[in-house]
Structure 1
């Protein structure tokens, strides 16, 4: 049962809160009800807050502690985004956009929505995304091997995030099973073509920027976009800034405020195509909130020097296996509901979208 705070959050964001615990330990009726709640959230909004998801909170907390320290420490204690640039740049993101591994400095990647013409991409890149990131995949991937820093630079980092990656895969399996049941498919329908090998764990840092530049549109934290895999699991820090397009008022965005103990889960473009648009891949963006200092108590928020807060997040992007053909799912088309999309190879589609981000 949702708490009062959760109900208020749901009302503010329009994003349903789904408890996954009954799916694992409930009766047959409770399993079905849970699957239907999750399916309906993805059908109407494309997003859900999921609680009792299966990633222990202490593991989530540790993951964020690996990103940066909240207080100054010795050099030996530095975490990933605290490392000097010359250390992070030992593991640069490869020049090929599709090879999504390693470190990307501020401004290297530009999130766009269905923009593929080189001139249009160049125009979009005039408004940079002010974030830096590090990408991790399966250790067993032969197509995209991971690019790790030497162990001496950040001891224990590689071992922890390999464990965290596998923990997230366990949640992925549960959610894919629930979606399949909610759609009336065999429970393992999606799991069979989602091994652990084609997913991506991303560590993100949004450094402070001038709030006036962000509000004027001269820079962005990350612009409006949809994800293009199957699903995304997102862990947020307490800062906030994620905004999701209002399903009933296109062009307007509502805050998806952090709810302790939950992850945010959203549908990607591939699953929207797969379901013939029955499930929604919804636009979202990040607008990091401004810092409120003690001397701002007069309520004046017009300062040109006001900076945004530092924000961290950890998305886990889920994608079908390499050569999966994404074609309309059973029951999602018919005489009065024609297929909207031609079949597409999973890797070819994702590579096409990824290359646009790093053009």
Structure 2
């Protein structure tokens, strides 16, 4: 594949009720995730209003001075809170950390502190989007489970632009899912580049990522029983990734 497919998710969108035939949708989605590891979803059911409000409140938070954001810095005990510039290192080939800031949210964040005084809408807008993404992710797994086959299809070693398409959500497979499916679904290497245009380089860019991970105690074993990868608990795998990142 040289382009990222756009998949119409209307049949199983957030808010849809009842059982529907998902065979065609499952095949279409798995074909994309086997061939390139990415797809766009349109008609996914999360309103633009909810997404835009989350982006607005996010911008309000990150526009604050560093000394204000530092009050809510991520601790080593929870994957929650503000992450400063060059704290995360997601590319082991680079000698320095990532030039970005982040705000991490987890399921156990209910007792942790949000910047409610300075950015009152940050918590409710993020939690609303989190709930919607949780619902959507479960529906995505419904579709993948229907379409999953056991023949392996290799990816080409080239980068394909993932240009934002209004109204869509980009879905890609992570390393653990590739391991779980014995390399059937692809965790395609991806990157974020600085713009070549000087004016664009001076502008802030925003993105929101929703990571889906199994329950901590679940043992991840190859679904095709091939034992291509050794079994590992979900939490042990996650902790190994945190160790490499921080």
Find the aligned partners of 1:285 and 1:155 in 2 and give their Cα distance: 33
**Contact map agreement 2:137 2:212 (CA 8 A) in 1:** yes
Which of 145, 148, 155 lines up with 1:247 in the alignment?
155
Q: Give the equivalent residue in structure 2 for 1:195.
A: none
Quickly say closer, same or farther: Cα 1:317–1:282, change in 2 above 3 A: same
Are 2:27 and 1:15 aligned?
Answer: no
Q: In structure 2, what is the Cα distance between the partners aligned to 1:91 and 1:132?
A: 13
Q: Which runs of 5+ in 1 are unaligned?
A: 1-10, 69-78, 114-123, 186-245, 294-305
**Conservation of the 8 A alpha-carbon contact between 2:86 and 2:96:** no
Which is richer in strand? 1
Answer whether contact 1:41 1:47 (CA < 8 A) is retained. yes
Normalising by structure 1, report the TM-score.
0.62
Is contact 2:42–2:168 with CA below 8 Å preserved after alignment? yes
Q: In structure 1, what is the equivalent of residue 185 of structure 2? A: 279
Tell me the CA shift for residue 61 of structure 1.
1.2
Q: Could you say if the C-alpha distance between residues 263 and 155 of structure 1 is closer, same or farther in structure 2, counting changes exceeding 3 Å?
A: same
Which residue in the other structure is 1:324 paired with? 218
User: Which structure is larger by alpha-carbon Rg, 1 or 2?
Assistant: 1
60, 71, 74: which one aligns with 1:90: 71
**Quick one: which of 63, 84, 87 aligns to 1:108?**
87
Aligned alpha-carbon RMSD (Å): 2.6
TM score, norm. by length of structure 2: 0.88
Q: Secondary structure of the residue that 2:22 maps to in structure 1?
A: helix
**Structure 2 residues without counterparts, runs of 5 or longer:** none
Deviation at 1:324, TM superposition (A): 0.7
Superposed counterparts of 1:36-115, under 5 Å: 36-68=27-59, 79-95=60-76, 99-113=78-92
Structure 2 partner of 1:132: 101
Number of aligned pairs? 241
Structure number with higher relative contact order (C-alpha < 8 Å, ≥ 6 residues apart): 2
Distance across 2 between alignment mates of 1:146 and 1:284: 34
CA drift at 1:125? 5.8
